[in-house]
Amino acid sequence: MTDFLTDELREGLAQARKLAARKNARLRVQVGEDTYPVLRVWKDGFALDAEDAPHMRGLVDIYDGSRHTAQCLVIASEEENGEMRYEYKRSTQAHDSAPLDFAREDDAPIGLIEHQ
């Protein structure tokens, strides 16, 4: 079908797809003070819009809306079809609380209530 479309029309469709992906993106990458919307995510990496994406190399934070989901060590991989792709060298899940350094009993009390 793309054989019948003019170059301008093909380019316009690609821009519209990119704009729709940016609007629907909940995930974002934060590097220092800068944030970038994530277009796609896969097991070993993610993709950003090539127009405003830097050639990142190092530690980044990934957010889903306002929730911190992961801290990753990334490297810029390649640019293809208007996307800049990044690969994870390391990806660590972010947690709301610190991990326990002891085994918690199943029947342990949750709190202590003192009688007065």
**DSSP of 50-115, one letter per residue?**
TTT----EEEEEEEETTEEEEEEEEEEEEEETTEEEEEEEEEEE--SSPPPSSPPPTT--S-----
Unique residue bearing structure tokens 């610190």: 98
* 23 confidence band (pLDDT: 50, 70, 90): low
- Residue 60 has what pLDDT? 93
pTM of the model: 0.65
- 14 phi and psi, to 5 degrees? -65, -40
What is the pLDDT averaged over residues 63-74?
91
What is the pLDDT averaged over residues 49-57?
85
pLDDT digits (tens, 9 = 90+) for 30-41: 988 899 989 888
Q: What would the two tokens of residue 79 be?
A: 């640019």
Computed over every residue of the chain, the mean pLDDT equals: 83
Indicate the CATH number for domain 2-93: 2.40.10.430
Which residue would you say has higher pLDDT here, 40 or 96?
Answer: 40
Q: What would the two tokens of residue 99 be?
A: 């991990």
